[in-house]
Amino acid sequence: MSALQWVLASMHGERLLSRNVAGIILISFLVTVGFGAVNLIVPYYILALKGLLVELPEKLGTVRAERAALEIGAMASAFMATRALFAAASGWLSDRVGRKPLIVTGMSLYTVLGILYALTTAEWQLIVLRAVQGVASALVWPVAEALLMDTVAPGLRTRTLSLYIISANVGQVVGPLIGSAAYEASKRLLEGHPVVDIFRAPFILITIATLPAVAVAATLKEAVASTARTASEKAMEMFRGGLRELPSPVKRALTAFYANGLLNGIAMGIMTSIMIVYIIDFIAKEPTKVAAAMSIAGLAGLLVSYPVAHIADKLSDTDRKRLLIASYALARLLLATIGFIRSYPLFIAVAAALSILMNITMPLLRSIQAGLIPSRLRGRVFGLQQAFFNLGMVAGPLIGAYIYRRYYTVEIVAGVTGAQAAFIFAAVLGLAGITLLTLYYNPAAIAKAWTLHRSRSELGAAATAEK
């Protein structure tokens, strides 16, 4: 049996592929395709808007992409600033008015912005559009994750989230290739036109390719929470304080997850602002080769994500914690080496390994967090997690872009330039975050706390019944 047949059989046998799961997975795929395609084009587009790229990249000896680093960093920070502001609110709102209206609104906004990208005449306009796109993202992703958790049973959460992540991974594989194809088509259609116009047209083509995501969002259904609720969930309904009334071990764990989200957000923000710039500067200048490197790395993560998640769902909470910490730590150590690579094949190998590890940790992290709290609070918890992560990503891109641009070839310490130091700093932040999870996420203490909470709830219910 092939890997694909095994996955499909598993989903069919456990009725995993409901309309919501299938719809959200497809939306995740299409939107990630759009992001991956656009991210490939943006550095060249910024250079062209600034008048620094007047010939096609493949005709030049080098493309000094670091001259676009600050703008790319500002775009990422603007995106995450608005996303951080709206993410917690969107989770809270979705708990009250429903998930679907927010998802449909966010998807419609994505489409409008895709067209506006092609109409910009200055790089500052890209920053403004990216900020508005952050609002759309806040309306979609924390809410979509909460809807997934509402839809499936606890025993399927890691695999469901893994499929969700797989869809994004497939988008990461396909997205850069779509961006490269859109660029090649634009070159042929607009041959002889200014370079800046050749880099405008792909935005229109990419938007058309991802337009079905809006229609899919309209088919989603609000999930009804399971009537077979646990005693802890019933007890939580009695409290008006919500998150404030969670048992202490749960609150400590959530605090560690939020702190890790903040630190990881800064680290990921640094990577967001400098990774593609680094590739163009040191690995490959042509959009086609850049797209291939990004796609191969994404494909590596895709191949292992679901099988590992299937195994993780069968592990104890303690063993899942061990797997999370080991994968997370190794991923951050690999990240620290990226800035020293100059070989195209070696970069692909390291990026692929990093992708594999990140696609083990991401669904595992979310599944563990979802299992800490009742379903009625998941929208707020996922929203807060996204808010902390996004807050870190407000600062991260600016920090990474500044270090990279300002100290591009400057030796900061023995043999380490600014381009390399940025990756090392991101790795250190990631290791700090996983240290917090190691110290404050205690599965045994959490299980004991919920057992005690259940006992108190049952005693309280019995006393109330006697009255």
Question: pLDDT value at position 348?
Answer: 94
Whether 123 is in a domain gets the answer yes
Q: Which CATH number goes with the domain that contains 319?
A: 1.20.1250.20
H-state helical runs in 190-247: 195-198, 201-210, 212-218, 231-237
Whether 150 is in a domain gets the answer yes
Task: State how far the Cα of 175 lies from the Cα of 36, in Å rounded to an integer.
Answer: 4
Task: State how far the Cα of 124 lies from the Cα of 114, in Å rounded to an integer.
Answer: 16
Whether 421 and 403 have beta carbons less than 8 Å apart is answered as: yes
User: Residue 336 contacts by C-beta under 8 Å, 6 or more apart in sequence?
Assistant: 423, 424, 427, 428
Q: Which residue has the higher pLDDT, 200 or 87?
A: 200
Structure tokens at 44: 């060249």
Name the region of 193 (left: φ>0; alpha: ψ -120 to 50; beta: rest).
beta
Mean pLDDT of 442-453: 78
DSSP helix/strand/coil, 113: helix
CA distances for 348 relative to 44, 168, 218, 279, 353, angstroms: 21, 19, 38, 10, 9
Whether 11 is in a domain gets the answer no
Whether 456 is in a domain gets the answer yes
User: Residue 399 contacts by C-beta under 8 Å, 6 or more apart in sequence?
Assistant: 266, 269, 270, 422, 425
Structure tokens at 454: 């259940």
Provide the domain count of the chain: 1
- Give the residue among 106, 98, 168 at the shortest CA–CA distance from 137: 106
- Give the residue among 263, 251, 277 at the shortest CA–CA distance from 442: 251
Task: State how far the Cα of 336 lies from the Cα of 355, in Å rounded to an integer.
Answer: 14
Does 349 have pLDDT greater than 70?
yes
DSSP conformational letter for 269 = H
Task: State how far the Cα of 263 lies from the Cα of 278, in Å rounded to an integer.
Answer: 22
Question: pLDDT value at position 237?
Answer: 41
| pLDDT tens column, 243-295 | 566 778 888 888 898 999 999 999 999 998 899 999 999 999 999 999 999 99
Does 72 have pLDDT greater than 90?
yes
Residues in a beta bridge with 413: 416
Does 235 have pLDDT greater than 90?
no
Mean pLDDT for the chain overall: 83
pLDDT confidence band for 453 (50 / 70 / 90): low
Mean pLDDT of 333-360: 92
Task: State how far the Cα of 146 lies from the Cα of 380, in Å rounded to an integer.
Answer: 9
| pLDDT tens column, 164-196 | 877 887 888 899 999 999 999 999 999 889 999
Structure tokens at 460: 């309280």
Give the best-scoring range by mean pLDDT among 87-91, 290-294, 306-310: 290-294
pLDDT confidence band for 428 (50 / 70 / 90): very high
- Give the residue among 216, 277, 273 at the shortest CA–CA distance from 397: 273
Burial of 133 (0-12, 13-18, 19+ CB in 10 A): buried
Does 231 have pLDDT greater than 50?
no
Does 241 have pLDDT greater than 60?
no
Whether 327 is in a domain gets the answer yes
Task: State how far the Cα of 20 lies from the Cα of 214, in Å rounded to an integer.
Answer: 14
Residues in a beta bridge with 411: 417
Question: pLDDT value at position 320?
Answer: 84
Whether 89 is in a domain gets the answer yes
Whether 62 is in a domain gets the answer yes
Q: How many Å separate Cα 213 from the centre of its chain? A: 18
**Domain range for 28:** 17-221+233-466
The radius of gyration computed from the CA coordinates of the chain, to the nearest angstrom, equals: 23
Question: pLDDT value at position 151?
Answer: 78
Structure tokens at 367: 């599944």
Does 454 have pLDDT greater than 70?
no
pLDDT confidence band for 299 (50 / 70 / 90): confident
Whether 329 is in a domain gets the answer yes
CA distances for 96 relative to 90, 205, 210, 341, 388, angstroms: 10, 37, 29, 49, 22
Number of Cβ atoms within 10 Å of the Cβ of 162: 29
pLDDT confidence band for 226 (50 / 70 / 90): very low
Task: State how far the Cα of 239 lies from the Cα of 241, in Å rounded to an integer.
Answer: 5
Task: State how far the Cα of 350 lies from the Cα of 331, in Å rounded to an integer.
Answer: 10
| pLDDT tens column, 126-135 | 999 999 999 9
Question: pLDDT value at position 4?
Answer: 42
Question: pLDDT value at position 6?
Answer: 44
CA distances for 277 relative to 69, 120, 408, angstroms: 7, 21, 11
H-state helical runs in 152-190: 157-189
